[in-house]
Structure formats: structure tokens, C-alpha cells
């Protein structure tokens, strides 16, 4: 029993040992087989994969399995090449990660791809991927074989792609490389699609070009992307596209340089191509330059921003730009170092329905004065000055296109307006302002091309002011142009409204609406050098008196035609029955003046604008039936004058026809004035004017002349001359003088010469008055042999010059006689200065000097000096004595006072020099007896004393005259000597005083107090 149990245990142990051995043997073999299979897994997998690729015709695909593990498979050096050795695809590393049991359910955890090279061929707008062309037939065959079979639904949870180089080729030559630095796609949910992150780099210049994030659902084609793009050199990018698609890029209207950009975008799409919504924002870098190929146009951007949103059937766009510089050809070139020159804002809206497409666009900008001054002068020369302070520019376009089997061209219209409000500009002679100045335009678009264009220039509430004068006006011009826009035609009209220039002159417009004008205009050679042609017509308008002083209706109008080829003008202004009345004159009465007709006609015959030397202007000035009357002083009847002349660039002013001037009668204070001639000539660029008049019944003849240099009118000279004329008693001028003073009689020879010049803006007059052989008689005054020479000048003030004088041969006043008199003087409006005045008197001289006289207050005291006065002559003049013999000379002085036209003698004296005695003997002693009696000597001695004084030798003599303000006088005589009379043997020492009126004392018969 026990043995049996022991044997049984022994058998069990042996079986266990055998089983353990077998298990160990199987385990060892399994390990050995597993190790062998593990070591051969890559080789076996490579052979299986190679067999499958060859089976499908992909023997040109090469690869290496670098890793085969339960959770991943890695391949490297994947190549697809043509028989010629051209690489169609190159992959550095491809790693597929998975886990069990997800992989059995068709779920792959992650796919990593690194270092991918793939070429892309570009031929114009056609993009070809050689790899897809190589795999195209195989994919089509696989698709046909598996059609209708249930395909394995594999889902990739995440995909990472890095370092992808897309080689862009054109004509077999590499032109650019697009590098995708990193791309990630991660499944958010098995049916929710992938979250996508993509970074694209420009392989040559920009370190980062594009970042894209979003979501993609491959099985329904849903795409939602958003990202931003940085382009370091837009010009290089466009150049790269130019090499790839030259024909398409040739249609691009602009080129850029020095330009960078940042672009942000959003995109929503279904079924891959059905774009439900997109939004794009692009910002361009500062200093970007935009040019127009083939034209000398350049725009420098200070800032630029572009925004677009919508879908393919309803989209909107908005743009805003700051322009720092603008150049167009050599004529327009403006820029600004800081800030912006122009601010541009624009919008566009596109909408498509089942039958048509519609596009509406607007553009607004702040138009600076500098830009307007540079851009507009070539075409609109009147507007830049009005836009100097800047303004706004707005443009609009409405376009529509019918859609269908054959799409129609775009149709619609575009409008623009450049305007400034409350603008003003300073001009050389004043200032112009406008409530609104604008350039408006409308362009028709027909058949997809620009059609008729209409432009309007508008000035509203315009006002010109200068030195307190103002004129208001409105203006509108319309121009129409049609393709190919070589010229434009149109009309213009305007009106000059309120005008205080006329009001200040005492006149007003008959039409309260002002002066209207209108015309036609043509602008030719718009694309080359614009040339204007205009015909201006001003209908006749009336200007009427605005006060009681001027009564007239002045009518004017005309036509002016101007063009680049020919210019013509006809203008006429005339006044009918004009009458003027002055306020009451100081002496009473009024002055009146008038004409039956006064006219000015300007005619410019047609001439070639290219050669202005052929231009001739005909001007006619005329007065008919002129009349003027100023009381009884001046009167003109039936004055007629005509002054025709021509002007040309070649010859200047010319007078082909002699001017005419005549009147029926002209009188000046009763003197008849008759014209003696009037002539105008032009010699060497100097216009010479000659005119003359004479006085009826008189030798007076006045000749006037003027010389005006045309190149310097301010240097004109005017001459006035009265040739030597004999003024006799029967002369009308002498008769006119007798009307002023009936007692005065004058005769002699008179001559006047004067020349007027302009020194800068100051007139300067230089002349001389000459009188010779003159005589003057008035009451007891008789002057003969008068000679006058008075040179004078008038500049800042009038005055005599050089040494003017008045001389006479003889002057007799009662018993007083003066000979060879001469007065040298100087005169100004404020003073009269006598340098010296002298005359012969009683064989001696009287003289005085240095006399200042104020014409406004003629009060002065003058001392008259007597030098070597003959005693005998003096006795006969001052006393009623007649001497048979007189020997001796006297000296002395007599003060004279001039007070408001009255002459008065002041106390004076005559005396003999000590040691220089003399003698005298009278014919009769009776006058001495009367003088002694007047002195109060009444005794028996008066007769002997009179006889003694009538014949004596004297040692000294002194005569004193004393006067008072009441007209009284005292004559004191002191005589010392020896009488030759036997009745008076004693020496003589006599003091004699005579009192009475000055006239009585001197017995002169001359009223010296007047």
C-alpha cells in the first residue's frame, strides 16, 4: 500500500518533470522564434510593403522602415522619382502612432511627418502637381475597383507636419520655395472634425508669412479658418507671382515697392467650396510706394488699411489710407515729411442675385490746399486758389451687370465732387472768398467702358474785397466730354451781385439782380497740354445814379472770344445824357456838367494766340455834346472829342488817326478859350501829347505837352509854356485884370514855362515866370521898366528857387521918386523872405534886407536905410523948397511897419556926418517963413531968420521924424552953421519942431498909411 503510494508519487513527479521540460522546451523555442521574428520584423514588413507597392505599379517608390513597434511604425527617406531621376516626393520621416484596441476600430492616434519636399509646376493660371499626375491613374483604378465596397473608416486623431518645402517651378526652372514650418490638425471629437493650426514661412526672405488656426470636418467639407499673414516684401511676392503668372500679373494696374503688409482673415465654408462668410483685414507698412506701370505716377502711403467681409454673393469692402506724397509727371509733385497729405476713405458693396450683379463704391478724402494747387491747375486753372485752404473729395459709383448664359458688360454711372466751404484766398490787390467752391462730375459707364463725362465748376456766394470795397458773385461752368476724351465742350454763366464800389461812387445797378454774363467753353488736348477756348458774352446792363449829384444811365456790354488758336474781343461802354450837379459853391450857385453821349469801344480783331505779336487792339474814346458850367466863372458848350488809338505787342501804342477835340464855346471868367491843336504820337516807345489853347482877343497862347514812356509810365514829363506875349491896354487879358481892379493899368511882355516830372510816386514841378518891359499905373503910383524873373519848383511843397527878383526902372509915388529898384526874395506857402530891397533916391540909395513875412499874418517892422542922400533933392522932395544951389549928403534910417496891409512910418532920422558940412541957397525964403510960423515962431525975427536960413553954409544938420499910432507926426530940424545973409551976421544954431499930421508935416501928397 505504501509502496503503491510511493510508486504513484514517483510517477507523478516524473510526469511533472516531463511537463516542465516540455514547457521549458516550448517556451525556449517560442522565445527563440519570437526573437528571430522580432529581428526580422522590419525586413519582413519591408518585403510585404514592397510587394504590395509593386503589385500596384508603384515600384518607383522607395522607403526605409526605421521603426516597427506595437504602438508605432516609422518610415524614413521616402522617395517618389521618375525614370529620369526627377524627385516627385521626398519625405524625411513618417511616423504613425496607434494603440490597441483603437487601431482595430480604425482609429490612429497620431501621424507625424517631417522634412517633406514636393515640386509644383506653374503654367500661367494652371497649377500642376507632378506627384498627383503620377498617382492619378492609380487612384482612379483603385476608386473603380473599390466602388460599391465598404471601405475601412480610418480616423486620425492628430496630424503633425513640419518642415514642408513646396518648390514652385515655371518652365522647368525653380522660381520660389514655399515653406510650411509647422502644421497641426487635432480631432476635437470623432464626428466634430479637426482643430487646425498651420504656420507657413517664406523660405527666402520673411521668417514668418502665415499663421492659420481653425477647424476642418473632412467628411462634410466644413472649413472654419482664421489667421494672420506677415509679408515683409510685397514687391518680391508680386515679382514671384509675376514670374509664375506673367499674363495675369500684367493686368494688375499698379506696382508696389518698399512695401510690407499684415493680413488678418476669417473664413467659413461648407462642402469645401461653398463660402458662407469671409472677413479680411490688411494693413500696409509706412512708406509703401504705389506706382502705375507705363505712367509717371507715384503715391507714397503714410498708412493704409483694407477691410473686406461677406460671401461670394454679398460682400462689403472698406479702405482707409493716409497719403504722404503724390507725383504725376514733372508738373505735379507734392509731399509731406510729417503727417499725411491726403486722407482717403472708401467703401464698396457687391451683391449678386439670380439675374444680375450690383456694385456700389464710394470714396472720400480730405483734399489739402497743397495737393489742389498741384493737381488742378493744368485742367481747371481757376479752382486751385479757391481750394488753397483745403477741402473734401467724394466719389461714388453704381454699376450693374446682368448674369446668365452670356454675361453682359457692366453698366452704370460714377459721380465725384471736390469742394471747399467758407474758403478764402489772398490776391495781390485784395481778397477773394466763397461760401462754396466745388468741382462736380458725372461719368456714364456703358458696355463695360467709361462713356460720357460731365464736369461742373461751381462758385457760390463769392466775394471779392479790396480796400473796403466789395463785390459779390456766383459762377457755374459745365463741361461735357466723350470718349476718347480729347476735348470737352460746355457752357458757363454767372452774375455779379451787390457791389459797393458803385455805391461809393453814388451809382447803382438798374437791375437789382446784378450784372449777368454767360458763354461757351471748350477744353482741347486734355491728355496732352490742356488748351481753353471760351466765348464770353455780357448782355447790356445799366448803371444808374444813386444820388442827386449824378444823373445818368451808363450802359455797357460786349463779347470776348479766347482760344489757344485765336482771340477776339468787342466791348462797348457808353453813357447817354449824363448830368452832374455839384453842391452849392462857396460863392453861391452850383456847378453842372454833362454829356449827350460818352463812349469807350474796345475791339480786338481775331489774331493767332500762338503769335501774340500779331494782336492789335483798337480803342475808341469819344465824347459828344459835352457841357459844363460853374456859375459865371467857367462854361463849356457842345464839347466833342474823339481819341482813337491802337495797341499791339510789336508796335505798342499807335495813333493811326488824328485825335479830335473841339467845342462851340468855352469861357473862363469871361475870357473866350479857343483850341489851337491837339496831337498824339508815339516815337520810340514814348507817347507824346501836344495840346494848345488861346484866349480870344488876347495874345495869350498856352501850349501843353506830355511825354509818357510806355515801359515806365511813372516817369512821364509834362510841359506847360506861355510864349512871350505882349500885354497891351487893348488886350482881353488886360481888360480882365481891370475887372479885378479898375484903377490898375498894366502892359508888358509875359512868358511862363513849367515842366512836371514824377520822381518815383512824387510829382516834381520846375518852372519860371518872366515879365519884361512892364509898366503899372494905379492912382498916384506909376511904375515903369518892370522886369520879373521868378524860378519856382513844387515837390513836397512849392517854393521859389535860385534868385528870383522884381526890378523896375522908375517908381513915382506923389512927389517921391525911386529909380532902379530891385527886390530879391524867396517864397514858400508858409513864408515870404526878402533877401534885399534897394532903390535910388535923391541921388543916393535906400535899402533894406532880411525881411521875414508870414502870408497868413502879415505883420513886420522893416528898417529902411538911407545912404548918401543928396541934400538938395531931399529938400525938394520932403519940403516945398526950391534950391538954386545945394551941396551936402545925408545918412539915416526910417523904420517902416507893415500891419495887415497898412504901411506906417516909425520914428527915423537923417543926418550929416560930423566934419562933412555943406551949403544951400533957396530961390525964395517965403516957404521958410511958413515953416517957422508952423513951428510957432511969430515975431520980428521970422523974416530975417527965414532969409538967413535960405542962404547959408552949415556945419551939421539933423532931421528927425517922430510918429504916433494916431497918424500924428513931429518934424525936428537942427541946423548949425553960418548964414551968408547980411541981415543975419550971427552964427546959426537952430532947433525947429513942427507938429501935425504926417501928410501935413511932409507935404508929400501920398497916403503912406494905406
Q: Identify the bridge partners of residue 691 per DSSP, sorted by sequence position.
A: 678, 704
Task: Give me 874's grid cell.
Answer: 531931399
d(CA 259, CA 302): 11
- DSSP 8-state code for residue 854: B
Q: Is residue 511 classed as helix, strand or coil in its secondary structure?
A: coil
Answer whether 571's CB lies under 8 Å from 599's CB.
Answer: no
Q: How many CB atoms lie within 10 A of CB 164?
A: 20
Of 913, 901, 936, residue with least CA distance to 1009: 901
Task: Give me 437's grid cell.
Answer: 467752391
d(CA 340, CA 368): 10
Answer whether 75's CB lies under 8 Å from 81's CB.
Answer: no
Cell 491802337 belongs to residue: 646
DSSP assignment of 874-885, as one string?
Answer: HHHHHSS--EEE
374 phi, psi to nearest 5 deg: -95, -35
247 phi, psi to nearest 5 deg: -70, -45
Residues in the chain with pLDDT values less than 50: 146-152, 203-207, 378-379, 381-382, 1003-1010
| The pTM of the whole model exceeds 0.75 | no
- What is residue 1003's predicted lDDT score, i.e. its pLDDT? 46
Of 546, 554, 544, residue with least CA distance to 576: 554
Of 61, 39, 66, residue with least CA distance to 50: 61
Q: What does each C-alpha distance from 41 to 26, 48, 72, 75 come to in angstroms?
A: 21, 10, 13, 14
d(CA 616, CA 573): 19
pLDDT tens digits for range 277-336: 878 888 877 778 888 776 677 788 878 888 888 887 788 989 888 777 777 665 555 555
- What is residue 550's predicted lDDT score, i.e. its pLDDT? 57
Secondary structure E strands in 190-260? 193-202, 210-217, 222-231, 255-257
Q: Is residue 149 classed as helix, strand or coil in its secondary structure?
A: coil
Strands 107-108 and 155-156, by their bridges, are: parallel
The H or E element containing residue 596 is strand 591-608
d(CA 314, CA 316): 7
d(CA 275, CA 35): 56
d(CA 944, CA 384): 115
The H or E element containing residue 972 is strand 968-979
pLDDT tens digits for range 779-835: 778 899 999 999 998 877 888 988 899 999 998 877 778 899 999 999 888 888 889
- What is residue 382's predicted lDDT score, i.e. its pLDDT? 47
d(CA 227, CA 225): 7
**What's the per-residue H, E or C state across 91-147?**
EEEEEEECCCCHHHHCEECEEEEEEEEEEEEEECCEEECHHHHHHHHHHHHHHHHCC
Sequence-ordered list of residues with C-beta below 8 angstroms from that of 450, at least 6 positions apart, any chain: 443, 444, 483
d(CA 740, CA 736): 7
Sequence-ordered list of residues with C-beta below 8 angstroms from that of 864, at least 6 positions apart, any chain: 846, 847, 848, 893, 894, 895, 896, 908
- Tell me the torsion sign for CA atoms 164, 169, 173, 176: negative
Cell 456714364 belongs to residue: 444
Of 182, 178, 177, 176, residue with least CA distance to 163: 182
Answer whether 264's CB lies under 8 Å from 280's CB.
Answer: yes
- Tell me the torsion sign for CA atoms 245, 250, 254, 255: positive
Q: What does each C-alpha distance from 524 to 458, 481, 560 come to in angstroms?
A: 21, 10, 18
The H or E element containing residue 771 is strand 762-778
Answer whether 182's CB lies under 8 Å from 162's CB.
Answer: yes
DSSP assignment of 789-853, as one string?
Answer: EEEEEESSSEEE-S--EEEEEEEEETTEEEEEEEEEEEEETTEEEEEEEEEEETTEEEEEEEEEE
Q: How many CB atoms lie within 10 A of CB 657?
A: 13
Amino acid at each position: 500500500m505504501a509502496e503503491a503510494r510511493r510508486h504513484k508519487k514517483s510517477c507523478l513527479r516524473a510526469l511533472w518533470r516531463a511537463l516542465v521540460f516540455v514547457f521549458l522546451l516550448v517556451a525556449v523555442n517560442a522565445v527563440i522564434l519570437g526573437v528571430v521574428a522580432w529581428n526580422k520584423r522590419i525586413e519582413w514588413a519591408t518585403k510585404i510593403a514592397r510587394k504590395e507597392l509593386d503589385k500596384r505599379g508603384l515600384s518607383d517608390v522607395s522607403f526605409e522602415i526605421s521603426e516597427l513597434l506595437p504602438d508605432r511604425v516609422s518610415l524614413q527617406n521616402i522617395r517618389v522619382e521618375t525614370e529620369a531621376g526627377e524627385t516627385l516626393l521626398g519625405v524625411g520621416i513618417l511616423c504613425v502612432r496607434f494603440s490597441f484596441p483603437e487601431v482595430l476600430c480604425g482609429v490612429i492616434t497620431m501621424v507625424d511627418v517631417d522634412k517633406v519636399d514636393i515640386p509644383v509646376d506653374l503654367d500661367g493660371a494652371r497649377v500642376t502637381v507632378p506627384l498627383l499626375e503620377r498617382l492619378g491613374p492609380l487612384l482612379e483604378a483603385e476608386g473603380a475597383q473599390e466602388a460599391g465596397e465598404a471601405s475601412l473608416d480610418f480616423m486620425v486623431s492628430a496630424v503633425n507636419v513640419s518642415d514642408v518645402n513646396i518648390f514652385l517651378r515655371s518652365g522647368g526652372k525653380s522660381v520660389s520655395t514655399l515653406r510650411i514650418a509647422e502644421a497641426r490638425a487635432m480631432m476635437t471629437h470623432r464626428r466634430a472634425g479637426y482643430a487646425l493650426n498651420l504656420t507657413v514661412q517664406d523660405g527666402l526672405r520673411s521668417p514668418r508669412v502665415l499663421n492659420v488656426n481653425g477647424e476642418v470636418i473632412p467628411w462634410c467639407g466644413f472649413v472654419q479658418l482664421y489667421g494672420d499673414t506677415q509679408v515683409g516684401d510685397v514687391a518680391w511676392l508680386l515679382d514671384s507671382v509675376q514670374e509664375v503668372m506673367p499674363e495675369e500679373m500684367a493686368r494688375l494696374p499698379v506696382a508696389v515697392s518698399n512695401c510690407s503688409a499684415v493680413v488678418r482673415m476669417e473664413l467659413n465654408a461648407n462642402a469645401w467650396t461653398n463660402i458662407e462668410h469671409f472677413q479680411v483685414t490688411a494693413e500696409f507698412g509706412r512708406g509703401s510706394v504705389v506706382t502705375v506701370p507705363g505712367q509717371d505716377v507715384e503715391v507714397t502711403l503714410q498708412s493704409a488699411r483694407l477691410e473686406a467681409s461677406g460671401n461670394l454673393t454679398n460682400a462689403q469692402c472698406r479702405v482707409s489710407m493716409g497719403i504722404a506724397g503724390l507725383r504725376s509727371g514733372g508738373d505735379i509733385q507734392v509731399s509731406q515729411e510729417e503727417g499725411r497729405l491726403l486722407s482717403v476713405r472708401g467703401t464698396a458693396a457687391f451683391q449678386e442675385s439670380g439675374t444680375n450683379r450690383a456694385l456700389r463704391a464710394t470714396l472720400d478724402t480730405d483734399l489739402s490746399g497743397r495737393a489742389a494747387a498741384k493737381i488742378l491747375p493744368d485742367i481747371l486753372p481757376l479752382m486751385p486758389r479757391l481750394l488753397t485752404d483745403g477741402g473734401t473729395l467724394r466719389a461714388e459709383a453704381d454699376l450693374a451687370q446682368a448674369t446668365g448664359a452670356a454675361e453682359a458688360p457692366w453698366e452704370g454711372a460714377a459721380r465725384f465732387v471736390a469742394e471747399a466751404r467758407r474758403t478764402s484766398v489772398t490776391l495781390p490787390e485784395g481778397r477773394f472768398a466763397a461760401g462754396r467752391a466745388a468741382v462736380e462730375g458725372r461719368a456714364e459707364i456703358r458696355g463695360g467702358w467709361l462713356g460720357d463725362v460731365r464736369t461742373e465748376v461751381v462758385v457760390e456766394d463769392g466775394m471779392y474785397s479790396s480796400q473796403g470795397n466789395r463785390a459779390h458773385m456766383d459762377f457755374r461752368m459745365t463741361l461735357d466730354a466723350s470718349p476718347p476724351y480729347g476735348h470737352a465742350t460746355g457752357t458757363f454763366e454767372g452774375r455779379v451781385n451787390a457791389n459797393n464800389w458803385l455805391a461809393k461812387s453814388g451809382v447803382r445797378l438798374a437791375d437789382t439782380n446784378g450784372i449777368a454774363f454767360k458763354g461757351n467753353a471748350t477744353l482741347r488736348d486734355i491728355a496732352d497740354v490742356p488748351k481753353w477756348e471760351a466765348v464770353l458774352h455780357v448782355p447790356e446792363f445799366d448803371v444808374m445814379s444813386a444820388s442827386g449829384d449824378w444823373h445818368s444811365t451808363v450802359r455797357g456790354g460786349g463779347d470776348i472770344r479766347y482760344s489757344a488758336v485765336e482771340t477776339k474781343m468787342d466791348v462797348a461802354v457808353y453813357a447817354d445824357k449824363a448830368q452832374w450837379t455839384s453842391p452849392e459853391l462857396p460863392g453861391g450857385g452850383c456847378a453842372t456838367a454833362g454829356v449827350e453821349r460818352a463812349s469807350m469801344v474796345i475791339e480786338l480783331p481775331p489774331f493767332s494766340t500762338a503769335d501774340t505779336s500779331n494782336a492789335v487792339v483798337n480803342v475808341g474814346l469819344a465824347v459828344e455834346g459835352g457841357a459844363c458850367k460853374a456859375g459865371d466863372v467857367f462854361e463849356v458848350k457842345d464839347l466833342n472829342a474823339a481819341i482813337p488809338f491802337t495797341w499791339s505787342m510789336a508796335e505798342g501804342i499807335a495813333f493811326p488817326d488824328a485825335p479830335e477835340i473841339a467845342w462851340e464855346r468855352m469861357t473862363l471868367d469871361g475870357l473866350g478859350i479857343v483850341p489851337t491843336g491837339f496831337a498824339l504820337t508815339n516815337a520810340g516807345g514814348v507817347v507824346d501829347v501836344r495840346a494848345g489853347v488861346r484866349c480870344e482877343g488876347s495874345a495869350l497862347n498856352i501850349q501843353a505837352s506830355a511825354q509818357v514812356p510806355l515801359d515806365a509810365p511813372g516817369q512821364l514829363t509834362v510841359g506847360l509854356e506861355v510864349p512871350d506875349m505882349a500885354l497891351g491896354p487893348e488886350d482881353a487879358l488886360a481888360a480882365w485884370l481891370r475887372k479885378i481892379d479898375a484903377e490898375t493899368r498894366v502892359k508888358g511882355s509875359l512868358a511862363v514855362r513849367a515842366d512836371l516830372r514824377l520822381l518815383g510816386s512824387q510829382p516834381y514841378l520846375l518852372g519860371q515866370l518872366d515879365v519884361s518891359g512892364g509898366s503899372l499905373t494905379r492912382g498916384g503910383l506909376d511904375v515903369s521898366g518892370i522886369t520879373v524873373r521868378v524860378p519856382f519848383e513844387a515837390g513836397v511843397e512849392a517854393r521859389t528857387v535860385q534868385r528870383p527878383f522884381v526890378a523896375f526902372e522908375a517908381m513915382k509915388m506923389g512927389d517921391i521918386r525911386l529909380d532902379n529898384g530891385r527886390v530879391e526874395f524867396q517864397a514858400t506857402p508858409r513864408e515870404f523872405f526878402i533877401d534885399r530891397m534897394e532903390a535910388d533916391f535923391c541921388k543916393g540909395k535906400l535899402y533894406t534886407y532880411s525881411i521875414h513875412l508870414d502870408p497868413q499874418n502879415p505883420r513886420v517892422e522893416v528898417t529902411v536905410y538911407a545912404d548918401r542922400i543928396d541934400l538938395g533933392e531931399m529938400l525938394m522932395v520932403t519940403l516945398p523948397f526950391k534950391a538954386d544951389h545945394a551941396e551936402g549928403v545925408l545918412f539915416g534910417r526910417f523904420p517902416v511897419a507893415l500891419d495887415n496891409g497898412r504901411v506906417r512910418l516909425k520914428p527915423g532920422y537923417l543926418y550929416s556926418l560930423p566934419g562933412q558940412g555943406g551949403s544951400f541957397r533957396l530961390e525964395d525964403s517965403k516957404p521958410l517963413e511958413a515953416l517957422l510960423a508952423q513951428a510957432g515962431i511969430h515975431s520980428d525975427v521970422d523974416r530975417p531968420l527965414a532969409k538967413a536960413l535960405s542962404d547959408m553954409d552949415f556945419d551939421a544938420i539933423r532931421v528927425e521924424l517922430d510918429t504916433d499910432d494916431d497918424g500924428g507926426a513931429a518934424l525936428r530940424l537942427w541946423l548949425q552953421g553960418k548964414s551968408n545973409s547980411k541981415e543975419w551976421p550971427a552964427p546959426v544954431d537952430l532947433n525947429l519942431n513942427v507938429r501935425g499930421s504926417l501928410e501935413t508935416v511932409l507935404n508929400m501928397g501920398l497916403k503912406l498909411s494905406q
